[in-house]
């Protein structure tokens, strides 16, 4: 792999309960991760896992208690690398007194773009997201969905190499969500790196090359999306519903029939069960429509990770009590 | 290039601030209106015997306006400059290719220049009055004119410093304590010394030393109330150094805090 563009090492971050409080809440717990050029990476985790905290540290809005982050080889608190990066904050609050166009022009120009480059890029983004009608409006008059669109446009107006998106589809309607998905696919083709934090796991599954799971500020699992969702041992066997389903099939897995389609689906948990089911079906002269290894979804994975952690915690507490 | 867009942003932000318009309103009421009205009389009476008295009245009026400017408008712009650094809207810019230093300097420079432009009008008006009344303009007067900027700059920087680190109401309270209550410790110090209350005297003296003083730059010490030739003395240079050091300290410490300051926790 070529040189990573984001390198985070042992990041620790605490939040105080309030300004005068001595009690601290751990937001990032020795978090280390790397993101390579051209990668589309999803940051996943339950609320309070540290996803937004990591992105805010990355863009120099807050500082870690210890550890370091380098982006494009520079410390994250240096501002110069940011002309190669764009950020959509989950809590985006732009200056309300500006018009959309003014905000975008300031963003493009401070990032070193000429007026012509700015206008060309705006035209391209308008084709992708349809933002032109709202550019002359004051931001104070924007709806939540419009604010989200202007946030995405602002992050992309200077053609950055790295884009960090924190819940980018929040408040967007179905059309805008679809447009954003196409835009991100386009950026992927152009070799841009994208760091995406989202709760909509189906989108992440579709777009991202790699997934990083965080919980309570810790990295609990990471890997390529296709590896994480790969075959888990179980099979889905679909066959024409016979008059009587052979009894031997019942202990081999979950059986569900669709009377309208006239098919039955058997979900086995192992390869041996699948082999046995195929044998039984053949013996009974039942034809098999399809036979597929069972795929996990990100949601399955996410829930299993969170549940595992909960169970671990539960047993630890049980041991402590004894 | 980058700064141009940053200042454009600060200017638009100021135009949409209530405090900015309060600032503009007080400038008009406190300064421009009375003096524009008096200018005709000034020109007519400059050759007459009671000219000196009128001249002094006008200049005292000018001096009072400078005091008002320092007391109200310096802090108003200080709040604008300080809040600009930490309000949530600024994050949309600070996530761009703009360093904390550029943002800090931009905010204080822009609002400071706004304040200094009003001070400059005072100075020009003073020079005009001196010219009309044929007063010699010597080096000491020029120095005192320069010194008078600290009368508005120190309150501006102090409250700007507090506003960048706390809520505006707390900043205003701290400002009132520093510029209204603590300066009166001087009299506590005297009376305490007389009644042998050494501890009170000591703390009063300490407080009056460590908090910034703006009185030397206003009223009696201001050039506006002391016309006539005078020789330059060490005191004026001492106050110039005092003003510069306090300003540098406030700007530097404000910057060092802001450089490593977490912006508002979005969850709060």
Q: Residue ranges per domain, chain B? A: 2-178+212-259
Q: Do residue A103 and residue A200 come from a single domain? A: yes
CA gap A311, A291 in Å, rounded:
33
A256 sits in which H/E element: strand A253-258
Q: Above 60 in pLDDT, residue B268?
A: no
Query: Is A310 part of any domain?
Result: no
Contact B96 A107 (CB under 8 A): yes
Q: Cβ distance A200 to A174 under 8 Å?
A: no
Length of chain A equals 322
Q: Which residues of A touch B99 (CB under 8 A)?
A: 78-79
Given pLDDT bands bounded at 50, 70 and 90, which one contains residue B228? very low
Predicted pLDDT of residue B230: 42
* A107-133 pLDDT per residue, tens: 999 998 999 999 999 999 999 999 999
**What does pLDDT average to over chain B?**
75
State the smallest CA–CA distance between residue B23 and chain A in angstroms: 19
Residues 225-254 of B with CB under 8 A from A: none
Predicted pLDDT of residue A31: 93
Predicted pLDDT of residue B40: 55
Query: Is A307 part of any domain?
Result: no
Predicted pLDDT of residue B190: 56
**What does pLDDT average to over chain A?**
86
What's the pTM?
Answer: 0.77
Contact A61 B9 (CB under 8 A): no
Query: Is A163 part of any domain?
Result: yes
Query: Is A300 part of any domain?
Result: no
CA gap A311, A315 in Å, rounded:
6
CA gap B264, B220 in Å, rounded:
44
Q: Above 70 in pLDDT, residue A252?
A: yes
CA gap B151, B162 in Å, rounded:
18
State the smallest CA–CA distance between residue A290 and chain B in angstroms: 49
CA gap A213, A309 in Å, rounded:
12
Contact B95 A90 (CB under 8 A): no
Say what percent of chain B tops pLDDT 90: 7
Work out how many CB contacts closer than 8 A connect A with B. Answer: 86
Q: Do residue A107 and residue A202 come from a single domain? A: yes
CATH number, domain containing residue A24: 3.40.50.300
Q: Do residue A285 and residue A220 come from a single domain? A: no
Q: Do residue A20 and residue A85 come from a single domain? A: yes
Q: Do residue A18 and residue A105 come from a single domain? A: yes
Q: Which residues of A touch B (CB under 8 A)?
A: 15, 52, 56, 59-63, 77-80, 82-83, 87, 89-98, 102-103, 105-107, 109-112, 154
Q: Residue B187 burial (CB < 10 Å; 0-12/13-18/19+)?
A: exposed
Average pLDDT over residues B122-128: 78
Which range has the worst mean pLDDT, A140-149, A180-189, A261-270? Answer: A261-270
Average pLDDT over residues B111-139: 79
Query: Is A316 part of any domain?
Result: no
Predicted pLDDT of residue A272: 85
The number of distinct structural domains making up chain A is 2
Q: Above 60 in pLDDT, residue A240?
A: yes
Nearest CA in chain B to A114: B1
Domain residues for A239?
235-293
State the smallest CA–CA distance between residue A150 and chain B in angstroms: 11
Predicted pLDDT of residue A308: 64
Place of tokens 């971050």: A13
Q: Above 90 in pLDDT, residue A25?
A: no
3-state helix, strand, coil in chain A (%, to 5): 40, 30, 35
CA neighbor of B90 nearest in space, from A121, A94, A175: A94
Q: Do residue A17 and residue A119 come from a single domain? A: yes
Q: Do residue A242 and residue A202 come from a single domain? A: no
Best to test chain B binding among A79, A90, A100 (most B CBs inside 10 Å):
A79
Q: Do residue A55 and residue A200 come from a single domain? A: yes
Q: Do residue A170 and residue A266 come from a single domain? A: no
Contact A109 B89 (CB under 8 A): no
Q: Do residue A21 and residue A130 come from a single domain? A: yes
State the smallest CA–CA distance between residue B115 and chain A in angstroms: 22
Query: Is A171 part of any domain?
Result: yes
Given pLDDT bands bounded at 50, 70 and 90, which one contains residue B227? very low
Q: Which of A63, A94, A102 faces B89 most closely, judged by CB atoms?
A: A94
Q: Do residue A73 and residue A44 come from a single domain? A: yes
Best to test chain B binding among A61, A153, A156 (most B CBs inside 10 Å):
A61
Query: Is A303 part of any domain?
Result: no
Say what percent of chain A tops pLDDT 90: 43
Predicted pLDDT of residue A315: 57
Q: Do residue A44 and residue A87 come from a single domain? A: yes
State the smallest CA–CA distance between residue B258 and chain A in angstroms: 11
CA neighbor of A214 nearest in space, from A3, A34, A51, A37: A51
CA gap A101, A132 in Å, rounded:
9
Q: Above 80 in pLDDT, residue A247?
A: yes
Predicted pLDDT of residue B231: 44
* A164-206 pLDDT per residue, tens: 999 888 888 889 999 998 999 999 899 999 999 987 777 787 7
């Amino acid at each position: 792999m070529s040189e990573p563009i984001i390198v985070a090492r042992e990041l620790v971050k605490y939040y105080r309960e309030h300004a005068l409080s001595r009690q601290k809440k751990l937001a990032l717990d020795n978090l280390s991760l790397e993101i390579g050029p051209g990668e589309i990476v999803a940051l996943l985790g339950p609320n309070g896992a540290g996803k937004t905290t990591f992105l805010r540290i990355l863009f120099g809005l807050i500082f870690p208690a210890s550890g370091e982050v380098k982006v494009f080889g520079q410390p994250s608190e240096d501002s110069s690398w940011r002309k190669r990066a764009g950020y959509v904050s989950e809590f985006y609050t732009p200056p309300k007194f500006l018009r959309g166009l003014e905000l975008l022009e300031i963003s493009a120009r401070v990032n070193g773009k000429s007026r012509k480059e700015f206008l060309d890029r705006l035209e391209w983004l308008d084709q992708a997201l349809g933002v032109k009608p709202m550019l002359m409006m004051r931001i104070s008059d924007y709806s939540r969905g419009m604010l989200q669109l202007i946030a995405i446009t602002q992050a992309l107006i200077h053609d950055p190499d790295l884009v960090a998106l924190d819940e980018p589809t929040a408040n967007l309607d179905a059309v805008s969500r679809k447009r954003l998905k196409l835009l991100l696919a386009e950026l992927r083709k152009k070799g841009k790196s994208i760091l995406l934090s989202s709760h909509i796991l189906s989108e992440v599954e579709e777009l991202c090359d790699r997934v990083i799971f965080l919980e309570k500020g810790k990295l609990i699992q990471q890997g390529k999306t296709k590896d994480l969702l790969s075959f888990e041992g179980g099979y889905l066997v679909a066959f024409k519903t016979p008059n009587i389903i052979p009894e031997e099939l019942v202990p081999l897995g979950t059986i569900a029939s669709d009377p309208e389609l006239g098919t039955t689906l058997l979900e086995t948990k192992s390869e041996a069960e699948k082999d046995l089911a195929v044998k039984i079906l053949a013996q009974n002269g039942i034809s098999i429509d399809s036979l597929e290894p069972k795929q996990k979804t990100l949601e399955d994975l996410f829930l299993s990770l969170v549940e595992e952690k909960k169970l671990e915690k539960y047993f630890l507490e049980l041991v402590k009590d004894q | 290039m980058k700064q141009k867009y940053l200042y454009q942003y600060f200017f638009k932000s100021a135009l949409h601030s209530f405090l900015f318009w309060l600032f503009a309103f007080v400038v008009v009421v406190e300064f421009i209106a009375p003096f524009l009205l008096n200018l005709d009389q000034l020109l007519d009476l400059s050759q007459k015997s009671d000219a000196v008295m009128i001249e002094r009245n006008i200049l005292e009026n000018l001096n009072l306006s400078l005091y008002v400017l320092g007391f109200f408008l310096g802090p108003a712009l200080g709040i604008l400059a300080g809040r600009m650094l930490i309000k949530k809207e600024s994050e949309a810019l600070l996530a761009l290719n703009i360093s904390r230093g550029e943002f800090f300097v931009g905010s204080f420079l822009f609002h400071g220049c706004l304040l200094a432009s009003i001070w400059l009008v005072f100075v020009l008006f003073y020079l005009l009055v001196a010219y009309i009344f044929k007063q010699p303009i010597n080096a000491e007067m020029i120095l005192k004119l320069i010194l008078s900027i600290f009368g508005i700059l120190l309150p501006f920087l102090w409250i700007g410093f507090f506003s960048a680190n706390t809520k505006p109401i707390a900043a205003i309270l701290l400002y009132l304590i520093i510029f209204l209550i603590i300066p009166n410790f001087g009299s506590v110090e005297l009376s305490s010394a007389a009644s042998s209350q050494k501890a009170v005297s000591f703390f009063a003296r300490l407080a009056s030393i460590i908090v910034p003083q703006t009185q030397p730059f206003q009223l009696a010490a201001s050039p506006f109330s002391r016309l006539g030739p005078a020789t330059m003395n060490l005191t004026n240079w001492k106050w110039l150094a005092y003003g510069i050091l306090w300003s540098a300290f406030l700007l530097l410490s404000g910057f060092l805090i802001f450089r490593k300051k977490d912006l508002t926790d979005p969850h709060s």
